[in-house]
Structure 1
Amino acid sequence: MKNNNIGQITQIVSVVVDVQFNGYVPAIYNALTVQLPRGGQIVLEVASLLGKDMVRTIAMGTTDGLKRGMEVVDTGSPISIPVGLESLGRIFNVLGEPIDNKGPVKSSRRDPIHRSAPTLVEQSNTASILETGIKVIDLISPFAKGGKVAAFGGAGTGKTVIMQELIRNIAEEHSGHSVFAGVGERTREGNDLYHEMLDSGV
């Protein structure tokens, strides 16, 4: 009996990969895996449904080695990452794999990278200010707890320094946790930031 959760690659355009299934359609955000002949695997995330059992996916890595006709398996669940105290101070790639040369993460819990936003009932309806410890920010442009803040500026204007100070203050003054996501960040810059935070004790 043929497994319906197995499809075939029909088109590859950069990191966009189309996969054809037969009588089966994986859910949006599901993780699909492709085994490479040279060893290892590539993970694809379902981005859209094209109809007629075909899905369009985004490769979570280089597509070198992929070709039309290769077998694709639906894992039946989204990409998940380790969570909990064991993940503090660690660096992960988008697949939740540690890339800081500190060994595997001994966490018993993994959560999907796509989750529903908190409902209105779960959110606080009282406005309060987050004291950053940076006087000029707290005086001129205070941050509201639960709000969103953007920092704009050219290279070398101090955005990263402010962010490091915010992370330090949230950890030491508020006993909180911070998550830094490098989206489109250069590998060198991310590495420099990590070592700067280690050296500064953040």
Structure 2
Amino acid sequence: VKNEDVLLFIDNIFRFSQAGSEVSALLGRIPSAVGYQPTLASEMAALQERITSTKKGSITSFQAVYVPADDYTDPAPATTFSHLDSTIALERALVEQGLYPAVDPLTSSSKMLSPDIVGEEHYKVARSVQSVLQRYKDLQDIIAILGIDELSDEDKMTVARARKIQKFLTQPFFVAEQFTGRAGEYVKVEDTIKGFSQILSGELDHIPEQSFYMKGTIDQVIKEHKG
């Protein structure tokens, strides 16, 4: 195919690493770390570097990456991640809380998240959201042992806003509409930034966290609260 823009889905890229390991074992090569083939890095590079863009066309790839034992330092996923522009990490703990999509904003990343690309406001809001969520994560052990009442007023405020952010990160799916009874919804980036900005600024501290669950825009949250 020439002069075309191609969308490539790979499910699952770990199988490529695994197959290479099996072939390497059959050839009698001495395995490297965790039993993978010694040529893992060069084999992955040879595959990933063919997924590129030129003046005549492009290849955009979405790759499912299996992470053995949830170990992000495992050579197979670690080698894969080094070639990707963005990663979307799914988290079991979010599924257990009923938060969908169960994307972890702390372990997910994007090389595109730069002021030069997304703009200053988008960048600052995104980083501020990550900062609040990280602080909440750091406080969870203290909350589990001593309770939230033992936190300082500032930390209590951080926890409250972090929980609202977690709820606001949920979004009703079109594909799940028949199962949840909630209509799917697309939300503009500008509206998303506006919503998180208002949560971070404290404008919505008076609204309970449950009002943020499975909403599209922040205006829907405010409307439901006023009810």
TM-score (structure 2 length as normaliser): 0.27
TM-score (structure 1 length as normaliser): 0.29
More helix by share: 2
More strand by share: 1
